[in-house]
Amino acid sequence: MGKAAAGFSGPLLGLLVLLVFPSVGLGDIYKYVDANGVIHFTDRPTHNQFTLYLKEKKKEKSEVLEIISRYASQFQLEEALVNAVIKVESDYNPSVVSRKGAQGMMQLMPQTARELDVRDPLNPEDNIRGGTRYLRQMLDRFKDLDLALAAYNAGPSAVSRYGGIPPYEETRNYVIRVKKYLQQYRQDKESYL
């Protein structure tokens, strides 16, 4: 990629790199600032002073899909279902935190995360492991997809208390949206993410 002119700050130069090279297919980008303050970028670091600057999105997506596949299999869930839940919960954003405190891709509440032994809810692997386990628990408990999804969203006690999907607009819309993506993902696996 060559050298960057001195005087550009890292974030500004990063923005310029993204504008000049919008394609995600570049691979990981590494950055190094030499003794003269010149910033160097490369996709092939030549020494250990280069640090990861920009991770290739395509690689991140395939890593996330691999994690989803592994835990969907472990907890006997459809990959399409796990992807649909993640799409509705966080749109695949691993660092999202809701107003209510739910965290990560599968939006685990702190208490639920602790119960599932999720140590870092913002870590995609830890979050997806916990979220798929919790989804499996809800399916086993309620034996019905709509009720399991409602329990995932509003909590199992709310579903038990109302004897069905709670009369919360957010929960009812949640169930509809997840099932819409589930149908889409069953038909076209390539539409994940």
Number of CB atoms found within 10 A of residue 51's CB: 10
Residue 20 token pair: 């000049």
CA distance 143 to 32: 54
Instruction: Tell me which residue of 170, 181, 178, 168 sits closest to 138, measured CA to CA.
Output: 178
170 is catalytic: no
The secondary element (H helix, E strand) that includes residue 42 is: strand 39-42
Choose, from 63, 78, 79, 89, the residue flagged as catalytic. 89
Residue type at position 13:
L
Return the active site residues: 89
